[in-house]
Structure 1
Amino acid sequence: MIDKTKIINELNVLAKQGVDLWLSVYKLDEKGLRFLESLKVDISKLPSFEIDYENWYTKCYRLIANVAPHRLNDFVSLYKTAHKGKFTLENYSISDALLGYTLSQGEKVIAEQTSIARKVKMQSDIVRSLEPLINDYFYNLELELEANIFKSELDSANELLKKKFLRPSGVVAGVVLEKHLKNICDKHGINITKKEPGISDFNDKLKEEKVIDTPTWRKIQLMGDLRNLCAHNKGVDPTQQQVKELLDGTKNIISTVF
């Protein structure tokens, strides 16, 4: 299992390293050194941009790909830009600087290594912006893991149904539904005061907090009744159609209600 604390710690380290690498770009020429001096930066504590950047980039790439893949192209495009036959200050990239390329017009230097400082700063800002997304990343990861578990349990319930074990099949589906409703309540910060809440308790609270609408509430209420019919032998046996309705309804709820 991925450690959330470890990911957050790695993010903080990479964000700090990004700022240091941005400042270290200014060590590459005299003008930049004067800028660092004006900021009272101790350049002896800065990393070597040419030596340390690639390692930082690789770690950031992996983290962004996992946590915020929608920002990956933004991050990569700052590192390497297609010149398309025309070399300009705008498409002068971090990769160009690392290769030692410069851009000149006559005797005038248009782009050189320190020209990519703003792009390194933008990369550093992208990494720092990931922090609010960490919780979403882990929540989605948990949802995916739970969905796989629930699918496996519903597959088991379907096998029981095929073999005419109607009550056990319905009970398994009921457990899946109850777990899912509890997870939704937890996600929305809905507190259930009852010591051992069940499907109806979670269902009522979700409707009360307007997480689900009335038609969905009625559907879950029916499934709760079918689950109770399977779990409690009071002289009336569930039919195969009723258990199938419970299984199909549970599958629908865990796929559509979040």
Structure 2
Amino acid sequence: MDARIQQSVVANLSARPAPVEVGPFVIGVDPGTDSPHINYATPRPGVPISAADVSALVAAFRQVGRKPRLEYVSSTAPGLEALLGAAGFAVEARHDYLVCVPGSLTVPSTPDGYDVREPVTAEEIAALIRAQNEAFGGEPVATEADVARVKRLQAAGGIAIVAVASDGTCAGGGQAVPPGNNVSEVAGIAVRDQHRRRGLAGAITAAVAGALFRGGAEIAWLEASGEDSWRVYERVGFRPAGKRLYLVLD
């Protein structure tokens, strides 16, 4: 499972607007943003990596004007953490990832007063992005580049889901990247403060995963940021499967 999840990350980054191949690594570069959470690198699973490869990776990040940062499934590059540490990288986080397959997905009822669906118009997509940014502690804004990024995701087979309250306001939403080898990452599951504790996060997560499976995906995976989200994901059918590692060079 680890190798399959890691290969899906490689596929996702390779589909960025301007990916950069650096030896055993791929950097997913998006010219529309300098966010290190979008512009990061990952290793190809099972490929030998040397200190020279790491140096070349850092140089490639500098050349494209992005902060050197990696995300990967730990077991697929067992010696990489030590090499990165020797090059000055620091561990940003260690996370468990969870997986769901069609047979384990449990779809809860949508809470009363909400509609959970795919956004169609640019304004609906912008509302989704603003809600996600607000829910994660950022400014509730959405740029044209942000909207274009979600439109590209949808056009390539990815999923975007928005939760709309009965008064027309966006309560939250979530996304999934286009499947690579029938595997997709679910991300950005967010509910604005005033709409929490009503079951929306589970309904959004299940809607994203369900749309993936109807499109032919075999595995959906995600990471939980805390105990509350872990419980939400387990209730809709996600189960712990492996470890992921984040490292950054400041």
* TM-score bucket of the superposed structures, by smaller chain: under 0.3
**Greater helix share, 1 or 2?**
1
Q: Which has the higher contact order (CA 8 A, sep 6+)?
A: 2
**Greater strand share, 1 or 2?**
2
**Largest Rg, 1 or 2:** 1
Q: State TM-score, norm by structure 1.
A: 0.22
